[in-house]
Amino acid sequence: MPEPKELLRVGRVTRAHGLKGELEVRLDWADSNALLEAERVFLAVPGGKSELRGLAGARQTPKGVLIRVQGVADRTAADEWAGATLSVLRNELPPLAEGEYYLCDLQGLEVLGPDGALGRVVEVQMYPSVDAIVIEAPSGERFEQPLLPHWLSKVDVAAGTVVLSSLDGLLEQPREGERAASGRATSRQTTSGQRERGEG
């Protein structure tokens, strides 16, 4: 069974598709092509079974990706995985280039400003034009920081820090009703703010 740190969540199985065991997957990040490159997937039904299975095929659709999983040959078997979270093994994805990181890895990192610690990343928001981290200060206040190069000095996942070059981009977090809809943050990002294809 893979360790959680070995996995990268890419989406969720919404339903069985057709009669030959295909699974319809709603991606957490619509532009991800991780499932087109992965060799195996880890399926986990909330409160139920979880298994690592070989990926027999994947094809893009307007709603997400349709996959065929080894050992799932008909609709009855496919129905058992409806609602399962879907992850891929990190070591089966293309290696990250220097300066790249997965947005999901930002959660829990300490955020440092020019004058010291600001708080920790508790969430990542993915808006249509920009991604942003949600920072919780020791006081409990929350702020959003867009991940744009003129405010972002360095992201060091190994060291556990996000370093801001300025506080000019720090925003009070919008109320829940004002937020744009977003999926889980598992896309690849670079310190230049450029989103990359090839991951969840």
pLDDT digits (tens, 9 = 90+) for 22-78: 999 998 877 788 888 889 999 999 989 999 999 999 999 888 899 999 999 999 999
Q: Is the pLDDT of residue 107 over 70?
A: yes
Tell me how far apart the terminal alpha carbons of the chain are, to the nearest angstrom: 20
**CA 197, CA 193: separation in Å to the nearest integer?**
13
Decide: pTM greater than 0.75.
no
Average pLDDT (11-17) is: 94
Question: What domains can be seen in the chain, in order of their start residue?
Answer: 4-92 (2.40.30.60), 100-196 (2.30.30.240)
Cβ partners under 8 Å of residue 160, min gap 6? 108, 109, 110
